[in-house]
Structure 1
Amino acid sequence: MRVRYVHRGYFPARAGAELMMQYLAEGMARRGLDVRLHAGRLDEDSARFMAGVGVRTEPLPRAADLAGADRPDVVHAFDAFHPEDLRAGLELARAWDVPFAVTPASAPGVWPDREAVLDACRAADAVFVLTGAERDMLAGEGVRPESLHLVAQGPHLPGTPDPERFRRAHGITGPMVLFLGRKMRSKGYTVLLEAARAIWERHPETRLVFVGPRWDEDCLEQFAAHADPRVIELGLVDEDDKHSALEACDLVCLPSTVDVFPLVYAEAWACSKPVIGSDFAGSEEVVRHGRDGLLVAAAPGPVAGAVVRLLDDPAERIRMGQQGNEKLRRELTWDAVTDRVHEVYTALVSAQRHKEGAR
């Protein structure tokens, strides 16, 4: 089976949608599929992104070149944050007359062109969603229910962790709360900054560690306004440091309000860490409140209260992390995701060949 993915990446950032595409593509390649990635744009950033993906990568073919290109069996476009990539994937699939699949991967609140995304999803032969809430929303917008397929999210931590080294390098001897992701307001980094004083009233030795690229234009000013030696801001880190930070922390706090299924939650559970999340569509499906994490309003008071609760009770914190890890191993693995997506690909290709045979 030949599958062509369409996605541009976020170089130099590493977003969840990008990682999902990469892990799925590499998983399919390990199964023996002929997998290639087409970048949705041609520039230096996309070239660097493509170079970092472990499958064959190529620019988007031009319409004039399609006749000479290897015809795939499926075209699969990723990420509604870049609706032009969904449109490009659909055009390729229609030009080749092969099934078209979409993984929106991002929440409607960050879609720059809602109708373009919905048009692509309505036209798709398969749409992969991460929660029941996402499935219901798309069905309500006219996407055919039979085309919607619920798949899970899985972690991928290829780095070699050294949590003691990470703590020594940053002078961390007490509790550590980790924010891991793009520093954008919808992810909740400003809320955690504003919660700091209340956290320190109870646990003054706590370090708040923020890992990820600056995204908001005023990000630097936000950290300057909350400057304190107990706030540690790091930018992009390598896989070893990322994994080390997850192992070194006591809990992960990402009070996101515009999300589908934050990859960092799965990564936290892979390291047996509880998570603190907030209200986004389907959040209660992702985080089981009181079992593998806490869901609170995205405001400084509730976030501080959740952090303090988990720091006050190490036994509860450890129990939640362990339950998250058990859920992960039972339900949230990339083998399970790849199995499910491969089943859908197989059904699409079979239906396409039956249709071609009937012509």
Structure 2
Amino acid sequence: MSITILHTESSPGWGGQENRILNECIGLKKLGAKVFILCQPESGLARKAQDAGIEVFTHPMRKSYDIKSIYYTARLICKLNINVVNTHSGKDTYIAGFAGKLSKKHPLIVRTRHLALPITSTFSYKYLSDIIVTVSEYVRNYLISRGIKPEKVFTVPTGIDIERFNPDKVEASLREELGLSKSTPLIGTVAVLRKKKGHHILLEAIPEVLREIPEAIFVFVGDGPQRKNIEEKIKQYGLSKKVIMLGHRNDIPQILNSIDLFVLPTLQEALGTSFLEAMAIGKPVIGSDVDGVREVIDHGVNGYLVPPDNHHLLASAIIKILKNQELAYQMGQEGRKKVENKYTLKHMCENMLNLYLEKINKNL
């Protein structure tokens, strides 16, 4: 059967959540679905989706019980003959959830939970959503522990564009840009500069790494509220020549293909898309033994899991991989294999479409 899907997003910013929404829409459209997005005016998602050829509707979503937004969304559901409404954030889940329940179309209401953060209320999950999709088993188990029925919650991990992160097709251009030789050990991390991402832990580990491997260089990719604090710590630890802040970059595949090792000692992570991107391009990875990261990193196979907030063990893991090129290569190969087998955009979009169709047919 043909299927028409409306994705809603009340967050005006741009990040991993919005990137997944866009990739889902593009992939579902390729699979034959009609796909629309409803989001805030002037949102990052609106601009990028329009550029990608997805039809976008915008309307202010000021609060969860925004009567005008609920009425607008209900009319849009009928006008577009929507079969599935997939919500993604708090406000739009209430708005689109109520709109769907009030609409004569009675579409399937799907709530995607992208984050590992605790939820403050279960109301929208229990009463406004027909099913819930989580990006990892960790998030699924958490929702079940909060009283959501297990048969209502499904895991569909975020997928990676394995062609965009194909090591055989991506230029490794960062070393030349930085004036580094091929033999210089280069360690990278890609993440928004927030406290929970653990950049401060990595900074504490770097002096220990440099005592063993003094020629090593670290690059931090990303921007965010912790930038000033991180820059101050770099100066405080005397690492200005060893840690390079690259800021926001659009050439992530090229950067990842240039490094020897990806490290992110995050303290909270629903899944860890940045690990998957590094794995897809064939790099070994090191992450904290928390949340959904455990599902991505197989300890000793495609990388290492270290206890959270332990810079000594983090430094030891970095040194171990940098000193064993054969181990690093094998871990990189295993990482690429895991992404190909489970975490591709194709897997994600096909699994989402099959889930939609299964639930719609069951309700017919």
Range into which the TM-score falls when normalised by the shorter chain: 0.7 to 0.9
Q: Distance in 2 between matches of 1:168 and 1:262?
A: 28
8 Å Cα contact 1:8/1:49 also seen in 2: no
SS in 1 for 2:132: strand
Matches within 5 A, 1:1-359: 1-8=3-10, 11=13, 13=14, 15-39=15-39, 41-43=40-42, 45=44, 47-51=46-50, 53-60=52-59, 62-65=69-72, 66-67=74-75, 69-78=79-88, 82-96=89-103, 97-109=106-118, 114-116=119-121, 118-123=122-127, 124-156=129-161, 158=164, 161-163=170-172, 165-173=173-181, 174-216=184-226, 218-226=229-237, 227-238=239-250, 241-297=251-307, 298-352=309-363, 354=364
Deviation per residue, 1:292-344 (Å, 9 max, x gap): 11000232211111111100111111111101111111222121111211111
Structure 2 residues not aligned, in runs of 5+: 60-67
8 Å Cα contact 2:22/2:49 also seen in 1: no
Question: Aligned pair count?
Answer: 339
Distance 1:221 1:53, change over 3 A: farther
Q: Distance in 2 between matches of 1:183 and 1:197?
A: 20
8 Å Cα contact 2:271/2:295 also seen in 1: no
Q: Give how far 1:98 is off.
A: 1.4
Structure 1 residues not aligned, in runs of 5+: 355-359
Query: TM-score, with normalisation over the residues of structure 2?
Result: 0.86
RMSD between aligned residues: 2.2
Deviation per residue, 1:87-126 (Å, 9 max, x gap): 23323322332111111111125xxxx224x322223212
Letter in 1 for 2:111: V
Q: Distance in 2 between matches of 1:300 and 1:64?
A: 52
8 Å Cα contact 2:18/2:45 also seen in 1: no
SS in 2 for 1:62: helix
Percent identical across equivalent pairs? 22
Query: TM-score, with normalisation over the residues of structure 1?
Result: 0.87
8 Å Cα contact 1:38/1:57 also seen in 2: yes
